[in-house]
Amino acid sequence: MSKTARKKSAKKPPVIVDDELATFAADPELASMFVADGLEHLGTIEQTILRLEKAPGDLSLVNDLFRPFHTVKGNAGVLGIRSVEAFAHKLETLLDLARSGSHPMGQAEIDVVLSAVDTLTIMVRELPARVAGEPHTDLAASCQNILATVDALIAGGSAAPIESVAVPAPQELEGSMAARIDEDSTIKVNTRKLDALVDMVGELVIAQTILADNPALQRPGDDRLSRQMAQIRRITSDIQRDAMSMRMVPIRRTFQKMARLVRDLSKKFDKPADVTLIGEDTELDRKLIEQLTDPLMHMVRNTVDHGIEPGAERLAAGKPETAQIQLRACHRAGGVVVEIADDGAGLDTERILARAVAQAMVPHGSQMSVAEIHQLIFRPGFSTADRVTEVSGRGVGMDVVRRNIQMLRGRIDIQTVRGRGATFTLHLPLTLAIVDGLVLGVGGDRFVIPTPAVRESLRPTAQQIHTTHGRPSVVQVRDRLIPLLHLGELFSIGNARTAITDGTVVIAEDNGREVALVVDEMLGKREVVIRSLGEMFRGVRGIAGGAILGDGRIGLILDTGGLLALASATQPQAAA
């Protein structure tokens, strides 16, 4: 059997369970566009309804709600998806009455629209699963409850509160994550094609770098060849920058999810809170945004559950009853900064330390800085909660947050004032595909450390090196003692320099902690394309990936968080 025949025989025809999805299944391209557009419109509706909740008399916002509902209904009708069309039509009827001024939008109306958005999101997102005959969410009871509530509201009666449907994490849908951008000047591209393009541009950059460093092209005397190579370098750099920019998306959608989460949790815990979104148009790599959503959700939950006081306590403390939460994003120093700030109780430093001692995480009587104590909240199993709730209190969450942020090559800083609030600042790279780093030489091997992690470098004197039982353990840099980690010894590099004073010490930092890396030399700064090292090296602590350098060698990309853990593990052995 030919390869083509095997492909044709392996491709199974769609299994259409629902008659209403025949048109949807017959045109996959149109179906994909419907799902993408539908999810985008529903996201707009959710954002608008949260604004309307604060200004229920603003009829312009009601109009902004009506239009996307009408579009979703119309598009569903074109494809014959009657369930979505009928459901959206019922909500459209309620909004039409509201925009005409004959039906005011109260809290019950806002709640039912939000619940309808959740239900419609699941309905639209799971259409491909229904076509394929795969399991999908049973929404019959939810739809019936929402429609009955809408009918009661239209008739002028009261409606019982309805529970929101939990919206599952989005699955990989072709073209479903389009930016909020001008449809007239854009086309939708399958994200897999875009990722493949970025990967190929990365290969082009590597090939260009290897070619530029070829000794045969380094010989002097041929100015024309040098100019041509410089032109190729500029063009390659422009292609790389443009390819990466195509994968950049604004953080707006993620921020809107967090605003909705705060709204739901504040009602659940009876803690009034307003959310302010700043820098929603800040762009970063789509893949990075996907992996950032879960850590942000954990941090927002903790902010509402632990950081914000109940209204009565806030009033007693002279604060407004309604708490203020800010989500901010901006570009800074070649990366992205995301902040979650609140005006709540702030971190209780003494309580955190006492809990850590009680849980045997730190020895009794330990001398720790305030920043080090605050970092204890990221330890696995740590919790200051007196009771376990369905949101938090089990000691899981913040350790996952830090681990996920470290996987993104980022770090978390904490600023807090007791009684006045706290700010958690996430420092992240713009993209996960390229790292701006320093190339370090150790023997014949090469390492790359991301430049944001590097604080300084020095050639230490013998007086700066302190030993424990005859082994170098720390280096003194001004008034700080920083643990030493010799990369040559750590990775068993035989021809590495043994005398620390003959090499260079690079001070790296992660989450307020420092480690002094002993290397032979610093070979310069370079942007490198990150490559996975495969399953065999996935568990190697201190290594985040690899990169092909200009001379064709493999450089290992260092993970500062993992190196700090290794330094902590080796210190007791040195002191034994």
Tell me the per-residue pLDDT of 529-549, one tens digit each, with 9 for 90 and over: 887 777 666 667 788 788 888
**DSSP tag of 531:** B
The CATH H-level superfamily of 434-575 is: CheA-289, Domain 4 (2.40.50.180)
Would you state the pLDDT for residue 517? 93
The backbone torsions φ and ψ at residue 533, rounded to the nearest 5 degrees and listed phi first, read: -95, 0
pLDDT of residue 519: 94
pLDDT in the model for residue 278: 94
Q: What is the pLDDT of residue 320?
A: 94
Residue 447 has pLDDT above 50, yes or no: yes
What is the average pLDDT across 105-124?
91
Q: Is pLDDT at 424 greater than 60 in this prediction?
A: yes
Q: Dump pLDDT digits (tens) for 155-165.
A: 885 555 555 55
Which of the residue ranges 5-9, 267-271, 336-340 would you say has the lowest mean pLDDT? 5-9
Distance CA 280, CA 257 (A): 12
Predicted confidence at residue 322, as pLDDT, reads: 93
Domain ranges of the chain: 13-154, 191-247, 249-429, 434-575
87: left (phi over 0), alpha (psi -120 to 50) or beta: alpha
Paired strand residues for 486: 518
User: Does residue 324 register a pLDDT over 60?
Assistant: yes
Residue 173 has what pLDDT? 38
* H/E run at residue 74: helix 59-78
**437 falls in which pLDDT band (50, 70, 90)?**
confident
Tens digits of residue pLDDT in 1-34? 444 444 333 444 444 445 778 888 887 777 888 8
Average pLDDT taken over every residue of the chain: 81
Arithmetic mean of pLDDT, 472-501: 88
For residue 394, is pLDDT > 50? no
Which of 37-46, 396-405, 524-533 has the highest average model confidence (pLDDT)?
Answer: 37-46
Label residue 224 by pLDDT band (50, 70, 90). Answer: confident
Look-up of token digits 């239900």: 119
Q: pLDDT band at residue 382, thresholds of 50, 70 and 90? A: confident
Q: Which of 80-84, 121-125, 164-168, 259-263 has the lowest mean pLDDT?
A: 164-168
Cα–Cα distance for residue pair 266/274, rounded to 1 Å:
9
Task: Note whether 295 and 336 are within 8 A (CB).
Answer: no
Has domain 249-429 been given CATH number 3.90.1300.10?
Answer: no
Residue 96 has pLDDT above 50, yes or no: yes
Say what the pLDDT of residue 184 is.
Answer: 43
| Range 58-70 average pLDDT | 89
Q: What is the pLDDT of residue 341?
A: 95
Whether the CB-CB separation of 503 and 509 falls below 8 Å is answered with: no
Give the whole-angstrom CA distance, residue 412 versus residue 195: 28
Weakest-pLDDT range from 159-168, 262-271, 348-357, 459-468: 159-168
pLDDT value for 430: 78
Angle between helices 286-302 and 398-407 (to 10 degrees): 160
Please provide the size of the chain in residues: 576
Residue 126 has pLDDT above 80, yes or no: yes
User: What's the rounded mean pLDDT across residues 71-92?
Assistant: 89
Neighbours of 325 (CB within 10 A): 24
Torsion-angle region of 167 (φ positive above 0: left; ψ -120 to 50: alpha; else: beta): beta
What would the mean pLDDT of 295-301 be, rounded to a whole number? 90
Range of weakest confidence among 58-62, 245-249, 278-282, 337-341: 245-249
Local confidence band at 344 (pLDDT 50, 70, 90 cut-offs): very high
Asked if pLDDT for residue 329 goes beyond 90, the answer is yes
pLDDT at 274 over 60: yes
Q: Return the structure tokens found at 233.
A: 């370098």
Q: Which pLDDT does position 27 carry in this prediction?
A: 78
pLDDT value at residue 516 = 92
- Give the pLDDT score at 16: 42
Q: Could you tell me what percent of the chain has a pLDDT over 90?
A: 22
Q: Which residue has the higher pLDDT, 536 or 233?
A: 233
CATH architecture of 13-154: Up-down Bundle (1.20)
Instruction: Quickly count: other Cβ atoms within 10 Å of residue 555's Cβ.
Output: 25
The counts of H helices and E strands in the chain are 18, 18
Q: How far apart are CA 486 and CA 446, in angstroms?
A: 14
| Mean pLDDT of the 490-508 span | 89
For 368-498, list the strands marked E by DSSP. 411-417, 421-429, 434-442, 445-450, 454-458, 465-468, 471-477, 480-486
Answer whether residue 247 shows pLDDT above 60.
Answer: yes
Which residues are 424's β-sheet partners? 340, 414
Average pLDDT over residues 20-49: 85
Residues 256 and 113: their CA atoms lie apart, in Å, by: 16
Give the integer Cα–Cα distance in Å for 170 and 125: 7
Mean pLDDT of 71-81: 87
Q: DSSP secondary-structure letter at 396?
A: -
> Is 13-154's fold the same as 249-429's?
no
Per-residue confidence (pLDDT) for residue 15, from 0 to 100:
43
Confidence of residue 56 (pLDDT cuts 50, 70, 90): confident
Q: Locate 207 and state its tokens.
A: 């090939």
328: β partners: 278, 339
**Alpha-carbon span 512 to 24, nearest angstrom:** 53
- Alpha-carbon distance 546 to 557, whole Å? 5
393: pLDDT strictly greater than 50: no
Q: Which residues have a Cβ under 8 Å from the Cβ of 454 and sit 6 or more positions away? A: 438, 506, 507, 508, 509
